[in-house]
């Protein structure tokens, strides 16, 4: 959560720098040469900030992808465990049902033999 706040703050900071620099250039009583140097300096700083922002964003995206992959792996593993557990229970129920059917078949055969004799 903290990383997401940092990324959002960096974007807001970058936007604020752009707006502030634009306003400063418009209202600054300087010579053209000095203004060009200021713009060049501002451009370098903005480029550095953008680079830092990009690197931070890349790290955050990579971290997010790793977290999603980990959660997915954990979910798949839990799903396999649940599936294996349910499979065992279903097999137990089937075996129990087969035993009940076998017992009932034997009872019916005994009753049938008694009835015939």
Tens-digit pLDDT profile for residues 44-100: 998 898 898 889 889 999 999 999 999 999 988 888 888 888 888 888 988 888 888
Q: How many structural domains are present in the chain? A: 1
- Per the structure, the complete domain to which residue 45 belongs is given by 2-116
Q: What pTM, to 2 d.p., does this model score?
A: 0.45
Q: Are 67 and 4 in contact (CB under 8 A)?
A: no
The residue to which tokens 């019916």 are assigned: 108
CA separation, residue 78 to residues 68, 69, 74, 75 (Å): 15, 14, 6, 5
| Residue 5 binned pLDDT confidence (cut-offs 50, 70, 90) | low
């Amino acid at each position: 959560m903290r990383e997401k706040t940092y990324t959002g703050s960096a974007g807001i900071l970058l936007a604020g720098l752009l707006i502030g620099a634009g306003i400063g250039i418009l209202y600054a009583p300087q010579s053209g040469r000095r203004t060009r140097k200021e713009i060049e300096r501002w451009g370098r700083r903005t480029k550095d900030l953008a680079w830092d922002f990009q690197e931070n964003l890349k790290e955050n995206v990579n971290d997010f992808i790793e977290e999603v992959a980990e959660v997915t792996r954990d979910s798949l593993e839990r799903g396999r465990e649940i599936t294996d557990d349910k499979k065992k229970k279903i097999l137990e129920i089937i075996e129990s049902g087969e035993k009940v059917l076998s017992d009932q078949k034997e009872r019916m055969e005994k009753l049938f033999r008694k009835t015939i004799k």
